[in-house]
Structure 1
Amino acid sequence: MRALLLAACAGAFAAPATASDLWDRFQSPPADARPMLRWWWFGPAVTDAEIDREIRAMKAGGFGGFEVQPTYPLTPDDPQAGRVNIPFLSKDFVARLAHAGETARAEKMRIDVTIGTGWPFGGAHVPVTEAAALIRKVDLPVAAGRDRIVLPPLPAGETYLAAFLSGRRVLIADGAVAVTPPAGGRTLTVFVAGRTGQQVKRAAVGGEGFVIDHVDAAAVTHHLRVVGDRLLDAFPKSAPPYAMFSDSLEAYGSSWTGDLPAEFRKRRGYELLDHLPALFDTGAESAGVRHDWALTLSELVDERYLTPIDAWAKAHGTRFRAQVYGFPPPRLSSNALVALPEGEGAPWRRFTSTRWATSAAHLYGKPVVSSETWTWLHSPSWAATPLDMKVEADRHFLQGVNQLIGHGWPYSAPGLAEPGWAFYAASALNDHNPWYVAMPAVTRYLTRASAMLREGAPADQVAIYLPTEDAFAALTPADASVDKAMARYLPEDMIAPVLDAGFGFDFVDAQAVTAGKLTARILILPALERIDAAAYAAIAHWKAKGGIVIAIDHAPNLSGGLIDGAEATRRVHAIGSGIFAGGGRIVARGALAAALRAAATPDVALTKADPRIGFVHRKLDGGDLYFVANTSETAIETRARFIGDNQRGAWWDAETGRRWASGTGDIPIRLAPYESRFLLFEKDADALPAEPVHAERIVADLSRDWSLTLGGQAAGKPGAAALWTQGGANQSFSGSGVYRRTIMLGALPAGRLSLDFGKGVPTAAEPDGRADRPRAMLAPPVREAAIVTINGKPAGTLWAPPYRLDVTGLLKPGANQIAVTVMNGALNALAARGPVDQQVLSLRYGERFTDQDQKLVVSQPSGLTGPITLVAD
Structure 2
Amino acid sequence: MMIDKSMIARAPASIRSLPEELPVPAEFRQPPPGYGPVPLWFWNARLDEDEVRRQIREMREKGCAGAFVCARHGLQTPFLSEEWLRLARAAVEESVACGFQLWLHDEPDASADATIALHPEFRARSLQIAEHLAEGAPLTLPIAEAPSSTIRNEKSEIGFLSAWAVPLGSGDEPAGESRRLTPESDGRIAFDPGDGRWRVLLFTVAEAEGADALNPDASALLLRLTRERYARAVGRHFGRTIPGIFTGDAAPRSASDRPGGAALPWSSLLPGACRERCGYDLLDHLPALAAGVPGAARVRCDYFATLSALYTRHFLALDREWCAAHRLAATGHPLAEEPLAPRAPRRADAAAACRCLDIPGVGNRTAATGGVRHRLAASIAHQSGRDRVFSETFGGGGWGTTLAQRKASADWQLANGINLFVPHAVYYSVYGKRKRDDPPSEFEQEPFWPHYRHFADYLSRLSFLLTRGKHAARIAVLFPSRSARAHFAAGGPPLAEEERPAVALAGFGAPDRLLLARIEKDLQALCDLLAQLHFDFDFVDEEGLAEARIDRSRLCLGPERYELLLLPSMTTCRRRTWERVRGFFEAGGNVLSCGLLPYQTGEGEENDAWLRAEVLELTTMDPTRVEHFSASSARAMGRAAMRPLKVNRDHGSRVARYVPSAVPLPEQRALLMKTLLRTLAAIDVDLDCGDIVCHQRETADGKIIFLANTADAPRRVKAVFYALGHPEEWDAETGEVRRLWQYARAGEKVTMPLRFAPHQSRVIVFTGRDGVRVERANFHVRRIIEQEEHYLVEGEAWDYDRPLDTPPNCSLAREGGGRWAEGIDQGLVEPVALGEVWDLRVLGDNYLVLEDWRFHVPRSGQDPALLSTFQEHWPELPRRRPITGDPDLEPLERELPDEVWLQTRFHLDAAPRGLSLLLEPLDVPYSVFVNGHEVVPLQTGVLDPRFLTADVADVAVEGENVVALRLSHAGARALEPDSRQRITCDLVPEPARLLGEFTALTDEEGSYRVYPGTPEQITTGDWCARGFPHYSGALEYSQMVTLSTDHFGCQLVLACEDPAVLVQVLVNGKPAGTCLWPPYALDVSDLLFAGVNQITLRVTNTAANALLGEARPSGLLGPVRIEPYTRLSVPVPKE
Offset at residue 433 of structure 1 (A): 0.8
Q: Equivalent residue for 2:879?
A: none
Offset at residue 510 of structure 1 (A): 0.4
Q: Normalization by structure 2: what TM-score? A: 0.63
Q: Equivalent residue for 2:128?
A: 136
Q: Does 1:757 align with 2:1055?
A: yes
Distance 2:368 2:613 in 1: 36
Offset at residue 674 of structure 1 (A): 1.0
Q: Equivalent residue for 1:40?
A: 42
Identity %, equivalent residues = 24
Distance 2:357 2:266 in 1: 23
Offset at residue 423 of structure 1 (A): 4.9
* 3-state DSSP of counterpart to 1:93: helix
* 3-state DSSP of counterpart to 2:442: coil
Higher RCO, 1 or 2 (CA under 8 Å, sep at least 6)?
1
* 3-state DSSP of counterpart to 1:390: helix
Contact kept in structure 2, 1:348 and 1:396, CA below 8 Å: no
Q: Equivalent residue for 1:689?
A: 783
Superposed CA deviations along residues 288-327 of structure 1, whole A, max 9, x for unmatched, are 2111111111111221111110001111221110214541
Q: Does 1:509 align with 2:511?
A: no
Distance 1:214 1:575 in 2: 43
Q: Does 1:860 align with 2:1113?
A: yes
* 3-state DSSP of counterpart to 1:396: helix
Task: Trace 1:240-279 onto structure 2 (pairs within 5 A).
Answer: 241-249=242-250, 251=253, 252=257, 253-279=263-289
Distance 2:475 2:722 in 1: 15
Q: Equivalent residue for 2:902?
A: none
Flag the 1:485–1:128 CA change in 2: closer, same or farther, 3 A. Answer: farther
Structure 1 letter corresponding to 2:574 = D
Offset at residue 823 of structure 1 (A): 1.5
Contact kept in structure 1, 2:1034 and 2:1100, CA below 8 Å: yes
Flag the 1:820–1:702 CA change in 2: closer, same or farther, 3 A. Answer: same
Bigger Rg, structure 1 or 2? 2
Q: Equivalent residue for 1:106?
A: 97
* 3-state DSSP of counterpart to 2:297: helix
Offset at residue 652 of structure 1 (A): 2.4
> Which of the residues 397, 402, 405 maps onto 1:385?
402
Q: Equivalent residue for 2:474?
A: 461
Q: Equivalent residue for 1:91?
A: 82
Offset at residue 865 of structure 1 (A): 3.3
Distance 1:486 1:46 in 2: 50
Contact kept in structure 1, 2:107 and 2:249, CA below 8 Å: no
Offset at residue 676 of structure 1 (A): 0.8
Superposed CA deviations along residues 494-529 of structure 1, whole A, max 9, x for unmatched, are 222212333011111100101115531211111221
Q: Equivalent residue for 2:112?
A: 122
Superposed CA deviations along residues 532-562 of structure 1, whole A, max 9, x for unmatched, are 2212222222223332100123432221334
Distance 1:283 1:429 in 2: 50
Contact kept in structure 2, 1:701 and 1:869, CA below 8 Å: yes
Distance 1:348 1:592 in 2: 27
Flag the 1:374–1:698 CA change in 2: closer, same or farther, 3 A. Answer: farther
* 3-state DSSP of counterpart to 2:783: coil
Structure 2 letter corresponding to 1:94 = L
Structure 2 letter corresponding to 1:371 = S
Distance 1:502 1:59 in 2: 37
Q: Equivalent residue for 1:552?
A: 594
Q: Equivalent residue for 2:945?
A: none
* 3-state DSSP of counterpart to 1:235: helix
* 3-state DSSP of counterpart to 1:673: coil
Distance 1:564 1:328 in 2: 29
Contact kept in structure 1, 2:41 and 2:425, CA below 8 Å: yes
Flag the 1:829–1:161 CA change in 2: closer, same or farther, 3 A. Answer: closer
* 3-state DSSP of counterpart to 2:1015: coil
Q: Does 1:827 align with 2:844?
A: no
Offset at residue 734 of structure 1 (A): 1.5
Contact kept in structure 1, 2:111 and 2:225, CA below 8 Å: no
Distance 1:181 1:599 in 2: 59
Flag the 1:151–1:37 CA change in 2: closer, same or farther, 3 A. Answer: closer
Offset at residue 611 of structure 1 (A): 2.7
Q: Equivalent residue for 1:845?
A: none
Contact kept in structure 1, 2:214 and 2:311, CA below 8 Å: yes
Cα RMSD of the aligned pairs, angstroms, is: 3.9
Q: Equivalent residue for 2:378?
A: 358
Q: Does 1:344 align with 2:363?
A: yes
Structure 1 letter corresponding to 2:205 = G
Which piece of structure 1 moves more, 466-475 or 683-692?
A: 683-692
Q: Equivalent residue for 1:615?
A: 694
Distance 2:835 2:190 in 1: 90
* 3-state DSSP of counterpart to 1:301: helix
Superposed CA deviations along residues 157-194 of structure 1, whole A, max 9, x for unmatched, are 41554555794557899997999999999999786562
Offset at residue 231 of structure 1 (A): 3.4
Contact kept in structure 1, 2:1062 and 2:1100, CA below 8 Å: yes
Unpaired runs of 5+ in structure 2?
1-14, 167-177, 258-262, 338-342, 495-512, 549-555, 621-644, 649-653, 664-671, 745-749, 773-781, 785-794, 801-828, 845-996, 998-1012, 1128-1135
Unpaired runs of 5+ in structure 1?
1-10, 75-84, 199-210, 761-780, 833-856
> Which of the residues 17, 24, 30 maps onto 1:22?
24
> Which of the residues 702, 727, 733 maps onto 1:649?
727
Distance 1:177 1:726 in 2: 65
Q: Does 1:807 align with 2:798?
A: no
Structure 2 letter corresponding to 1:783 = A
> Which of the residues 391, 394, 400 maps onto 2:417?
400
Q: Equivalent residue for 1:663?
A: 743
Superposed CA deviations along residues 184-241 of structure 1, whole A, max 9, x for unmatched, are 999997865623433xxxxxxxxxxxx1221111221111111222233431324463
Flag the 1:139–1:371 CA change in 2: closer, same or farther, 3 A. Answer: closer
Q: Equivalent residue for 1:68?
A: 69
Contact kept in structure 1, 2:841 and 2:1037, CA below 8 Å: yes
Distance 2:72 2:657 in 1: 51
* 3-state DSSP of counterpart to 2:86: helix
Structure 2 letter corresponding to 1:336 = R
* 3-state DSSP of counterpart to 2:385: coil
Offset at residue 269 of structure 1 (A): 1.6
* 3-state DSSP of counterpart to 2:400: coil
Task: Trace 1:452-491 onto structure 2 (pairs within 5 A).
Answer: 452-477=465-490, 488=520, 490-491=522-523
Distance 1:728 1:343 in 2: 43
Offset at residue 576 of structure 1 (A): 3.4
Which piece of structure 1 moves more, 634-643 or 649-658?
A: 649-658
Flag the 1:243–1:219 CA change in 2: closer, same or farther, 3 A. Answer: same
Which piece of structure 1 moves more, 318-327 or 592-601?
A: 592-601
Flag the 1:145–1:225 CA change in 2: closer, same or farther, 3 A. Answer: closer
* 3-state DSSP of counterpart to 1:796: strand
> Which of the residues 315, 318, 323 maps onto 2:325?
315
Q: Equivalent residue for 1:707?
A: 839
Distance 1:34 1:407 in 2: 14
Q: Does 1:730 align with 2:732?
A: no
Q: Equivalent residue for 1:739?
A: 1037
> Which of the residues 597, 600, 605 maps onto 2:681?
600
Offset at residue 571 of structure 1 (A): 7.1
Contact kept in structure 2, 1:165 and 1:188, CA below 8 Å: yes
Distance 2:139 2:473 in 1: 69
Distance 1:161 1:225 in 2: 33
* 3-state DSSP of counterpart to 2:435: coil
Distance 2:139 2:300 in 1: 36
Distance 1:815 1:179 in 2: 93
Distance 2:1055 2:229 in 1: 54
Structure 1 letter corresponding to 2:417 = G
Equivalenced residues, count: 779
Contact kept in structure 2, 1:787 and 1:821, CA below 8 Å: yes
Q: Equivalent residue for 1:676?
A: 761
Q: Equivalent residue for 2:460?
A: 447
Superposed CA deviations along residues 33-60 of structure 1, whole A, max 9, x for unmatched, are 1111111122x42211221222122112
